[in-house]
Structure 1
Amino acid sequence: MRKAPFPSTLNRRRALGLIAVTAGGSALVPVQLFAKQASPQASSLLLPEAGVCSITPETTEGPYYFDPELERSEITEGREGVGLTVRLQIVDEACNPIEGARVDLWHCDATGHYSGYPGQGDNRDVDTSGEKFLRGWQRADTAGIATFQTIYPGWYRGRTTHIHFKAFPEEGRAMTGQMFFPDDLSEQIFSTRAPYNQRGGQRDTMNADDGILRRAGSGVQSTVREAASAYEALMIVAVRRAG
């Protein structure tokens, strides 16, 4: 498989923290500390500034998961929003990339709606049954990286801004996680950019109020890079191999 291109230095225009944690409560170790326990070869393959390389705890998949049976990296299906590239690097407990691991990604659109379900929205009157926007899966490349082209997720009542993912290190095994975004960046986008600023209602849940994020306990920051009008979110997902 072709290794996805990845810049080795931070964009100098702006670097913003992305809370990259999953529920479960275990402490996460920064890459620069954990890498001392990994082989030099494994350490050299890790995404720079991408957060953690310690076993990633599980979290709930939520009520809106289904397998769209779509192997694709571009998942927007024309949904409007601020461009976002998500790169998830799947590694084992020794920080070795897992080539070929399957990664599923799904999240809500700029107005807080998921594809494929009825009864959404503030008035529970939005039905997206039969649609598959903002969903897809990819195989990790030789560096363990799965890349998705999507949009910055919106919000809906009771949850802070987040993206869901599943990582399948091998057939029959899966772990489920979520990644969270800094409130200041979310608020800036939601208040100034269309279509985020065109929706009704009032955002009621920030990071500090989100039950899933709160139960996750201590976490570390990964990286959001800004490039022109788009962003890039990076996260290392460490899973145990079977055996």
Structure 2
Amino acid sequence: MNSSPPYRAVSMTDTSEPAEPVIGRRAVLIATGATAATLAVAATAHDAPTTVNTADTAPVAAAAVCTLTKEMTEGPYYLDGALVRSDITESKPGIPLKLALTVVNSACTVIPKALVEIWHADALGEYSGYVGSNGHNESDDGTFLRGGVLTNSSGVANITTIYPGWYRGRCIHIHVKVHTGVTLTSDGSFTGGTELHTGQLFFAETVTTKVAAISPYSTNTVTRTTLSQDSIYDGGGAASGLLTLTALGSSTSSGYTGTLTLGVDES
């Protein structure tokens, strides 16, 4: 394993994340839906979940409902100094994943220029900066599959990555933070601002099962923890970070879009 960059020290022996999903109580709202207008209308709705009639699409709510929820653990693999960029793949092999994450406040009004930062494992379950923790010998620059982007005028952060792999003890997931008031730096990173939310994004098993059967995911010999077996995901659907996944093409290898609206309390 190559030497990690000079980031905050974290234990290299911890190959799984803490079982306790709560790191604090903060008013955080998470809801499905493509627009803030939909969110506002749906704030008083209580429709039962339905399924979108699109091939390889995960179950989603018919109407978005702003829901107070707990934050998820940051986990042991966070690194300070993430690059601000819309494409974090760095040529890592895997099935394409295009994230569209909308950030709204407690009034379901979109928040432009919020920095949405994500990090996740590659197809073999390795995190940049910690390669070897899942038993594979790869090159490690400390930056692959890490980064963030500012939300646009519609409050949407568009990030291109790959479908994550898995490691021992955890289901497939993506870590996410939301910051406001950051300053972009000349080295392509950011500084300052206020961290409003730390959470995780999750994937429906109907899609993950198909992804896991395709190379390079199929070469990951670690036993995969399913969504229902995971110690962090609590079964709360979109309110707990479950993405809406929609196929980009006719085959699994074509990839998916992943959408979710993250609502944060700015007070």
Cα offsets for 1:73-117 (capped at 9, x unmatched): 100001000000011111001110001111101100011000012
Distance 2:236 2:131 in 1: 35
Unaligned 5+ segments in structure 2 are 1-20, 45-60, 182-192
Q: How does 1:17-56 map to 2 (within 5 A)?
A: 23=21, 35-37=41-43, 52-56=65-69
Whether contact under 8 Å (2:177, 2:196) holds in the other structure is yes
Distance apart, 1:172 and its partner CA? 2.3
Number of aligned residues: 205
> Do structure 1's residue 78 and structure 2's residue 85 form an aligned pair?
no
Distance 1:84 1:50 in 2: 24
Match of 2:232 among 212, 221, 226: 212
User: Partner residue of 2:130?
Assistant: 117
User: Partner residue of 1:20?
Assistant: none
Whether contact under 8 Å (1:162, 1:181) holds in the other structure is yes
Whether contact under 8 Å (2:99, 2:257) holds in the other structure is yes
Distance 1:50 1:195 in 2: 36
Distance apart, 1:212 and its partner CA? 0.7
Distance 1:111 1:83 in 2: 15
Match of 1:93 among 86, 90, 106: 106
Distance apart, 1:166 and its partner CA? 0.1
Match of 1:231 among 256, 259, 265: 256
Unaligned 5+ segments in structure 1 are 1-22, 39-47
1:86–1:51: structure 2 CA closer, same or farther, 3 Å change rule? Answer: farther
Distance 1:67 1:51 in 2: 33
1:54–1:201: structure 2 CA closer, same or farther, 3 Å change rule? Answer: closer
Match of 1:202 among 223, 238, 248: 223
User: Which structure is richer in relative contact order (CA contacts within 8 A, separation 6 or more)?
Assistant: 1
Distance apart, 1:53 and its partner CA? 3.3
Higher mean C-alpha deviation, range 228-237 or range 26-35: 26-35
Match of 1:164 among 152, 159, 175: 175
Distance 1:234 1:62 in 2: 22
1:151–1:51: structure 2 CA closer, same or farther, 3 Å change rule? Answer: farther
What TM-score, normalized to structure 2?
A: 0.68
Distance 2:65 2:89 in 1: 27
Give the secondary-structure state (helix, strand or coil) at the position aligned to 2:98: strand
What TM-score, normalized to structure 1?
A: 0.74
Which letter does structure 1 place at the counterpart of 2:152?
Answer: D
Instruction: Give RMSD over aligned pairs.
Output: 2.8
Distance 2:42 2:256 in 1: 30
> Do structure 1's residue 183 and structure 2's residue 195 form an aligned pair?
no
Give the secondary-structure state (helix, strand or coil) at the position aligned to 1:212: coil
Distance apart, 1:209 and its partner CA? 1.1
Whether contact under 8 Å (1:114, 1:128) holds in the other structure is no
